[in-house]
Amino acid sequence: MRTLDDKVAAVTGAGSGIGRALALELAGRGCRLALSDVDAAGLAETARLLTGRARAVTTSVVDVAVEAAVLAWADEVVADHGRANLVVNNAGVALSGTVASLSTEDYRWIMGVNFWGVVHGTKAFLPHLEASGEGHVVNISSVFGLTAQPLMSGYNASKYAVRGFTESLRQDLALTRSCVSATCVHPGGIKTNIARAARVDASVAGATGRSAEASSKEFEKSFITTPAKAAEVIVEAVRKDKRRVLIGPDARVFDAMARLAPAGYQRLITGVVRSRGAE
């Protein structure tokens, strides 16, 4: 997909953060946009920002954890725009707490959005992408899909799952000589509201010596890349058909740590988290 001009792009989680930035970036590349989010107000604001900037924009309130809703939205996109060329499965949530304290429902919740949302979006749009004659799937993992972190077992599990799913998908598509390709994206710290919107269990305070609010603020200090920059990198990755994308210098550091010290990095990160709690 050398050019995105006049292509139809579907983006989940478009009501804020990377999703909104992607909508703006894709509009600038000449795309027709189909946007979804569970947040109706955020989605409406994204649509307002796109006024006069996109060839066409449709919006739908969709919970990506609900398969039937995503399937219906994919059919709706094709009915509205005539085809689908690109889907970006971006919607995501965060969860923090010790394994001992988090409930199985907490894990079901985060996997439902972060992993199953990606599976639902991929499966729902894949036949339409094939039918278009030129398609691409972008699935957003995380730097936490490269390295594990303490207190983030649910988030890590979901993002590692996205990574494995997408890497296998890419190979499936190559093996079957499909006209569709796939890219897995690993953003580092992006300046979004995901930390403030996260579910934070009380066990975080006990483990770190910091309140949930203080922990979120500390975590946000590591957010060094803007959503606009992330969107630009992702769109270029589609155009160049990259298999894997690291966004931000922190993502490259964590990737190197996992390669060079796949066991040792865990002690390092745990030590850093512990030392911050002692400050």
Active site residues: 155
- What's at 36, amino acid-wise? S
Contacts of 9 (CB under 8 A, 6+ apart): 26, 31, 32, 33, 34, 85, 86, 87, 88
167 Cβ neighbours under 8 A, 6+ residues apart: 184, 243, 244
